Amino acid sequence: MSSRLWIGLPILLVAFMCLAAQDAEFTVKLDVTLVTLQAEVFDATGRPVLDLNKDDFLIYDNGQPQVLQHFEPIEAPYSVLGLYDCTGTMRDHWPFVTAATTRFVTMLRPQDRVSVAEFGTNLQTLLDWTPRNQWNSNLDIRTDLSVCADTDFFGSMAIASSRLQRISGRTGAVVFTDGVQERMRTKPVVVGGVRLQRFSNSSEDEDFQEALQVVRSGKTPFYFVAISTDLNPAAADDILHQTTYYSPLVLYNMQQVRSRIEQFAEASGGRVVYPQKHSDYIPLFEQIGRELGASYSLGYTPPVAEPGVTRRIEVRTRREGLRVRQSRQTYGGGQ
């Protein structure tokens, strides 16, 4: 990603602690009309249970039973969009990502279909909707197109959500990115008498909030394969260019970037995985494909909640001895 986004200054760790204490991440309110999530169900031996229907599920919001208003069974087909960040140093990952994508598609069912797009300033479709069994493993991810010259990560997620909203049936999105937004909003701070610029909190970032609202109001769970975050940092010269180490301010900015990725995932009912090395790509993509192929889609209208309060979701089954794994455990509050 563009090195202009990263401000590498030799600041002492105590300065970073002051930065964090000055302005903790503000709580984000989620105004949702329907809380959606995916649920996998397993028997006592760990095998997926694939024959449940709507009446087999119970759903609770902060311990209170809710009416299950949306339900899609296991066999309902998915339209899955693969979204790939094609900007900056993301290009170095393509040989590994293309192999992982092919393995991901093999985890989908015959009734599923897939589309692939890359994004930078906008979305560029590389493969239109194609049945899973017609997948072309020689898909060429282009990095020399004008769309890859800059990054509008927020806008691209909003566009993808809007497009998927128009598709009937179940949809899913798998996004490979480092989550950096070109010209991300910054704010001045003063630490130890030194005036600095750092990324704004997500609650103060209007561009992000607009995109988040679009993703939140959509029906598509977004699964992110996030790289080069503060949880799985790359080598400094891979993404920072002008620095030789991760300064406290750079780490703070990376945390702000990761927070936005996680909020997109949480608001949509998806989740984020953090590969530590290239060899993690294939098993993580496989894992997401396996989850989609064995998931029930659930949704309910939540009760009116106090703004900024995180609420807990619990899914149970009426059948005894079954274990449920949910794509999300909470909604509301902040990251």
> pLDDT digits over 247-279, tens only?
788 889 999 999 999 999 988 989 899 999 889
Tell me the HSE value of 153 on the side-chain side, using a 13 A CA sphere: 26
Only one residue has tokens 């020399």, namely 144
Cα(270)–Cα(277) distance, integer angstroms: 22
Question: For residue 10, is pLDDT > 70?
Answer: no
Contact (CB, 8 A) for 116 and 129: no
Map out the domains of the chain with their CATH numbers: 3-29+73-292 (3.40.50.410)
Q: Phi-psi region for residue 46, left (φ > 0), alpha (ψ -120 to 50) or beta?
A: left
Question: For residue 236, is pLDDT > 50?
Answer: no
Contact (CB, 8 A) for 256 and 230: no
Q: Is 192 strand, coil or helix?
A: coil
pLDDT tens string 153-201: 999 999 999 999 999 999 999 999 999 998 889 998 887 788 888 899 9
